[in-house]
Copies of this chain bind each other. A is one copy, B any other.
């Protein structure tokens, strides 16, 4: 075992966990550094030994969220036999994650992230998963551009649906699993078309 820290013992992880907890409690993504410090039992300025500023902390929290999302998507990948079923279940998992963790989902896509291709995060990993699953649906020899458009088409649908649901723009009857399938499936069918 490493030293695990002196005063507190891995404050960094504790802060991230506290942030996650607050967001689950309040269903809101705006949290306060001071509050996190209070919960962890540390002085208000302690967080700055581990994060450059508040945004850096939020970024770390968001990246953890993307990691969890990736897990859900990978589970969907492993659970199905056909490429189309895999893509469908990945879409369902995406929406399910958003609705289960609205504040986290909000945070993950909150600030425009810069220099992303320089240092890819778990968000790009999630995108890669989706892209692979979509490519597996496309007929052999499909041009790369088509696959890219299809990937973003599908991502846009599930992402947009999630956002609209979280924003309260969908009525209850539009948020059932069956309705979601009605929204997604025709888009998935466009994937294997010439």
Contact = CB atoms under 8 A, between A and B. Distances in A.
Given A156-B157, A167-B113, A186 B193 contact: yes
Contact of A112 (B110, B112, B152, B168): B168
A114 B160 contact: no
A125 to B, nearest CB: 12
A15 B182 CA distance: 43
Interface in A153-175: 153, 155-164, 166-171, 173-174
A103 to B, nearest CB: 11
A117 interface: yes
Contacts of A113: 167-169
A161 to B, nearest CB: 4
Contact of A187 (B109, B153, B173): B153
A123 interface: yes
6 contacts: A112-B166, A148-B173, A152-B179, A156-B159, A160-B160, A186-B193
Interface of A: 109-114, 116-117, 123, 127, 145-146, 148-149, 152-153, 155-164, 166-171, 173-174, 179, 182-184, 186-187, 189-190, 193
Given A112-B166, A156-B164, A160-B163, 10 more contacts: A116-B169, A145-B182, A152-B174, A153-B184, A153-B186, A155-B164, A156-B158, A156-B160, A159-B160, A187-B187
